[in-house]
């Protein structure tokens, strides 16, 4: 259950970041003040609020040092989501960095 909650958390953060990027693009198109009232910003805030609720539940059931290590999965999910949503590039250096993060999480879990 904890692993599932951590996966949900990472997914919510990734979706929230994609929505924030869409909100930023909309702000650029319609002017700053008008842009602050766009649907993407509200969606991002809602998704991130859900992520906070999941995070608090994770912290209730998991030691902080372990939960925080696993939260680094967000560094993997956000770029992958950005790749699909915005065609952003993931280069070899970033892929190696992600591999090191995964290794770090596995070592922390020992």
Q: Which residue has the higher pLDDT, 102 or 83?
A: 83
What tokens appear for 81 in the block? 């989501």
Structural domain harbouring 15: 2-109
pLDDT per position as a tens digit, 39-49:
999 999 999 99
Give pLDDT, residue 15: 95
d(CA 36, CA 56): 28
DSSP secondary-structure letter at 41?
A: H
d(CA 60, CA 56): 6
pLDDT per position as a tens digit, 45-80:
999 999 999 999 999 988 888 888 888 888 888 999
Q: How many domains does the chain have?
A: 1
Confidence at 30, pLDDT banded by 50, 70, 90: low
Output phi, psi for 100, to 5 deg. -65, -35
């Amino acid at each position: 259950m904890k692993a599932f909650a951590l996966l949900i958390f990472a997914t919510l953060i990734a979706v929230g970041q994609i929505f924030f990027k869409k909100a930023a693009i909309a702000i650029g198109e319609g002017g700053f003040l008008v842009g602050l009232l766009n649907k993407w910003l509200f969606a991002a805030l809602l998704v991130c609020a859900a992520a906070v609720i999941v995070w608090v539940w994770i912290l209730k059931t998991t030691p902080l040092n372990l939960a925080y290590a696993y939260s680094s999965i967000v560094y993997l999910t956000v770029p992958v989501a950005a790749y699909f949503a915005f065609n952003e590039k993931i280069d070899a250096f970033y892929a190696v960095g992600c591999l090191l993060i995964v290794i770090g999480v596995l070592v922390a879990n020992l």
